[in-house]
Amino acid sequence: MRTAVSTRTVECTMKQHQALLSVHSPGQGLHDITDQIMAVVADAEVEAGMCHVFVRHTSASLLIQENADPSARHDIEQYFLRVAPEGDPAYTHTMEGVDDMPAHLKSALTHTSEQIPIRQGRLGLGTWQGLYLFEHRHRPHRREVLVHVIGE
């Protein structure tokens, strides 16, 4: 059986927009940055496209996760404390404190970037989804988040 394929050429003008955000994290945990990313998408004036978000650090990461019930965030944070415990005697990278090597491990197990489709000028997240900066260090930090929007 043969499948008929129809193609057509459409001329598009793609826009690109970048923003480097400075995000304050008060310390370890999941911190919602969805609104900040949505503001960058709005500034880009793209109706359909892709939003790429990248955190420029090795001890923080990004997660798309439930944004309705705080107990989901709490359970995720507790899980990662068990997976990468502080004070493990097997760690050799300890000069920056007991939370440093576990922070690198948590970052390696999660994502440093996320891609989210843009639909009708908005992030195409699901009803209960939010984008979180996952801070893995105890101290407050200023984290750089690079946002690249492409579309039309």
pLDDT digits (tens, 9 = 90+) for 23-66: 999 999 999 999 999 999 999 999 999 999 999 999 999 999 99
Is 8 a residue whose pLDDT tops 90?
Answer: no
Asked if the structure places residue 53 within a domain, the reply is yes
Give the angle 141-81-104 at the CA atoms, nearest 5°.
Answer: 55
Domain that holds residue 64: 25-87+94-151
Asked if the structure places residue 18 within a domain, the reply is no
At 4, the pLDDT band (50, 70, 90 cuts) reads low
CATH number at 45 reads: 2.60.120.460
Structure tokens at 102: 């576990």
pLDDT digits (tens, 9 = 90+) for 15-25: 999 999 999 99
Question: What average pLDDT does the segment 60-79 reach?
Answer: 97
Asked if the structure places residue 5 within a domain, the reply is no
Asked if the structure places residue 141 within a domain, the reply is yes
pLDDT for position 75: 98
- pLDDT above 90: percentage of residues in the chain: 91
Asked if the structure places residue 2 within a domain, the reply is no
Asked if the structure places residue 10 within a domain, the reply is no
Residue partners of 151: CB distance under 8 A and separation at least 6:
14, 15, 44, 46, 47, 48, 49, 50, 118
pLDDT for position 69: 96
Domain tally, the chain:
1
pLDDT for position 3: 59
Higher pLDDT, 149 or 8: 149
pLDDT for position 13: 82
CA dist 88 and 94 (Å) reads: 10
Asked if the structure places residue 7 within a domain, the reply is no
Is 2 a residue whose pLDDT tops 90?
Answer: no
Asked if the structure places residue 46 within a domain, the reply is yes
Question: What average pLDDT does the segment 122-137 reach?
Answer: 98
At 131, the pLDDT band (50, 70, 90 cuts) reads very high
Question: What average pLDDT does the segment 75-93 reach?
Answer: 96
